[in-house]
Structure 1
Amino acid sequence: MHYGSSYFSKNGLSTIVPKNPLAESLLGNRADFSFWDLKLVNLQYRCTKTFLNDCQLAEDPCQNDGYTGPACTCLCPPGTSGSRCETRVGDYTETLVQERFPHSARFTTPGVISSPGYPDNLPTGTGKYIQELKAPECHKVQLVFTEFVLMQRPDSPVPCLYQGLTLRLQDPPIDSNVFCGRDIAPGRVFKSAGRSLVLNFVNYYPKTTPSKYRAEFIFIWNTEKCGEQE
């Protein structure tokens, strides 16, 4: 349970940004409880102790932050598996991101990124997602758009109110600009200041519109950080 990243913003840009860029889509969840919300409530109201007594267990057998539920089985956090949560299969936050926002991804090799379904328009129902381009040490990201078409910028003090792509070029990833319509012409180049360049896409429009983008990216030497390349 958490306010969204742009809540209380006067211009639509973020007021809070997590250290892990992919986790930003998780902010603003007010519809249901996370694993940790439920575990905390159960602990505070001593439900877990009641479950252990009912299940005739002297101690909780669940591992890796899991806990015993009312059915006498372990309730396991994302990123773990096994009847006792004994196996770690991934990071908690990033596993949760993939479950809820499957279009979010981190890219660590040069290539192409695009909107889901490209070259077709954005599929109906696509909500929000994060794409992080992560360069190796002493490098930064160079991103070149080949196509960019989103909903037109509305007559509103909030830019790109219904649909937009925010590019974060700084490290840590604070807001740079929000783009929509045809704001980004083919061939336009963006460069990150550090190793990370983050694309944050949001879509609040429920119908299919002419919306899609494609870009190519490479990693270039960061002279400002590491001096001239030998």
Structure 2
Amino acid sequence: ALIKQLSPYTSVISNSGAEVVSPGYPDKAPANETQYTQVVRAEKCQRAVLTFQDFHIEPRSAINNRCAFSYLEIRSDVSVPEGKIFCGKEIEKGTAFKSDKSELILHYMNHEYIKKNGYRGYKATFTTENIPDCS
């Protein structure tokens, strides 16, 4: 209950064909501080595949070229200590991310000092594929 209260958008998605979207998509991402994790989970011997149709969040800072205000981190496995960080329009339509095992982990962060947020967020589709030689 506490996790749901502190991070109401945290979820586990396990239905192949499911749409994976950020809160408020496509109108606007929340303008207040928002942090959540979405776990995309396939069955044993299946790989999770996430294919993006849209991605538009706060762009990188012009000062230090970092995703300073908002970002989406994608990890290909639970055991990976850090994932790849994306912001702005860095994930193009049709880009697919595949898990090493059966899970992809998405961690989203938006800092609360963004008072005006005109960014759509993201939308992707979750599918699965067989992992070769898995038993």
- Work out whether the TM-score is over 0.5: yes
Contact 1:167 1:176 in 2 (8 A): yes
Q: Per residue, is there more helix in 1 or in 2?
A: 1
Matches within 5 A, 1:1-230: 95-110=1-16, 111-157=18-64, 159-204=66-111, 205-223=114-132, 226=134
| Maintained 8 Å contact 1:106/1:131 | yes
Distance in structure 2 (CA, Å) of the matches to 1:96 and 1:196:
24
User: Which letter maps to 2:101?
Assistant: G
1:53-83 deviation digits (Å, cap 9, x = unpaired): xxxxxxxxxxxxxxxxxxxxxxxxxxxxxxx
Contact 2:52 2:94 (C-alpha < 8 Å) held by counterparts: yes
How does the TM-score come out when normalised to structure 1?
0.54
Q: Give the alignment's Cα RMSD to 1 decimal.
A: 1.7
SS of match in other structure, 2:89: coil
Higher Cα Rg, which structure? 1
Gaps spanning 5+ residues in structure 1: where? 1-94
Q: Distance in 2 between matches of 1:105 and 1:112?
A: 13
Q: Conserved in 2, the CA contact under 8 Å of 1:171 and 1:195? A: no
> CA offset at residue 210 of structure 1?
1.7
CA–CA distance in 1 between the matches of 2:37 and 2:115?
19
Higher relative contact order (CA 8 A, sep 6+): 2
Q: Does the 8 Å contact 2:26/2:120 carry over to 1? A: no
Gaps of 5+ in 2: none
Q: Higher strand fraction: Structure 1 or Structure 2?
A: 2
